[in-house]
């Protein structure tokens, strides 16, 4: 089995205030019958990942309704200022009063990489025109977006590759990380990489026994695009042991360069370019 690089950057972690974490885990139990294996609050999450050799953490949270993004983002500022080597994709909701104005203030912080949009939960489309001013600001300020726009873990009218294509037709240079490798439409999302140089994918929840990612993509595709893939764990919202996805990736026996880039170099370059 291949070995991990000496330093790891986890580019897909979730941190929320305690009460919101409780609500999210209850939602998982009720909607998906998922029992989260590591119901750890934020500071415990950070401590746990540090013990597992994660040197830098990039986390996100999202505003599931109008009126909570501002409070979440003030909480985010406390976290990123308290801990070294932690960066975030902050929360945004287009219906908030003065949403764009507030977003610009948060983007000025060097440890805010951009914003997370979770279309499955937020129930608006990625090509919703209310988001266009945000996208334009992201491009102007050389920041990034984190999109949950794939069809995993479940289909919804608001997610899917066709919706994402509409965004890229309007903003072909948009800097976006697509969560979960675009699951479950892996190949259709990866087909976008040639034409869109600012597009990246993270591995969270993708290299698991019940996914068909390898059938859809194959080893040659992963090697070809090793410069555009980021390791992400989805921690702590895991229903499989964290090590299982890492072991699955290592068992693929890809090149040493693949593992160095995916687990560290690609993420480090994105953070430094901010």
| Domain residue spans of the chain | 9-273
pLDDT for residue 210: 65
Q: What is the pLDDT of residues 202-252, one digit of tens each?
A: 999 999 866 677 678 999 999 999 999 999 999 999 988 999 999 999 999
pLDDT for residue 244: 92
Q: Mean of the pLDDT values across residues 101-108? A: 97
CB under 8 Å to 150, separation ≥6 — which residues? 159, 160, 161, 178, 179, 180, 181, 182, 183, 184, 185, 189
Taken as a whole, the chain contains a residue count of 274
Q: How many CB atoms lie within 10 A of CB 127?
A: 18
Task: Report the alpha-carbon distance of residue 224 to residue 207 in Å, rounded.
Answer: 17
CB 2 within 8 A of CB 253: yes
Stronger pLDDT, 10 or 28, i.e. the higher one: 10
Q: What is the pLDDT of residues 143-176, one digit of tens each?
A: 999 999 999 888 899 999 999 999 999 999 999 9
Closest C-alpha to 254, from 210, 192, 191, 203:
203
Q: What is the pLDDT of residues 241-256, one digit of tens each?
A: 999 999 999 999 999 9
The single-letter DSSP state of residue 141 is T
Return the SS3 of 214. helix
The single-letter DSSP state of residue 217 is S
Percent of the chain exceeding pLDDT 70 equals 98
pLDDT for residue 31: 83
Q: Into which CATH architecture does domain 9-273 fall?
A: Alpha-Beta Barrel (3.20)
Question: Which pTM value belongs to this model?
Answer: 0.96
pLDDT tops 90 at residue 117: yes
Q: Mean of the pLDDT values across residues 71-80? A: 98
Stronger pLDDT, 27 or 144, i.e. the higher one: 144
37-41, 79-83, 152-156: least confidently modelled range: 152-156
Q: Decide: residue 260, CB within 10 A, 0-12 exposed, 13-18 middle, 19+ buried.
A: middle
For 84, the token pair is 């070294």
């Amino acid at each position: 089995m291949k070995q991990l690089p000496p330093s790891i950057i986890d580019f897909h972690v979730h941190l929320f205030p305690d009460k919101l974490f409780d609500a999210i885990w209850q939602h998982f139990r009720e909607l998906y019958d998922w029992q989260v294996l590591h119901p750890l609050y934020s500071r415990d999450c950070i401590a746990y990942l540090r013990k597992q050799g994660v040197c830098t953490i990039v986390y996100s949270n999202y505003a599931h309704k109008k009126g909570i993004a501002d409070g979440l983002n003030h909480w985010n500022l406390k976290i990123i200022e308290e801990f070294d080597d932690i960066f975030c994709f902050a929360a945004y909701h287009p219906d908030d009063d003065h949403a764009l104005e507030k977003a610009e203030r948060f983007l000025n912080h060097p440890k805010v990489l951009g914003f997370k949009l979770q279309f499955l939960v937020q129930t608006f489309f990625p090509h919703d025109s209310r988001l266009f001013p945000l996208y334009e600001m992201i491009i102007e300020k050389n920041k990034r977006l984190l999109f949950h726009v794939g069809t995993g873990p479940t289909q919804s009218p608001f997610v899917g590759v066709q919706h994402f294509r509409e965004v890229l037709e309007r903003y072909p240079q948009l800097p976006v990380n697509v969560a979960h490798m675009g699951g479950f439409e892996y190949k259709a999302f990866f087909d976008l990489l040639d034409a869109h140089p600012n597009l990246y994918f993270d591995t969270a929840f993708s290299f698991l026994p019940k996914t068909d990612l390898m059938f859809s993509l194959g080893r040659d595709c992963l090697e070809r695009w090793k410069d555009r893939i980021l390791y992400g764990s989805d921690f702590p919202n895991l229903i499989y042991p964290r090590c299982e996805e890492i072991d699955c990736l290592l068992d693929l026996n890809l090149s040493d360069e693949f593992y160095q880039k995916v687990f560290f170099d690609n993420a480090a370059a994105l953070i430094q370019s901010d």
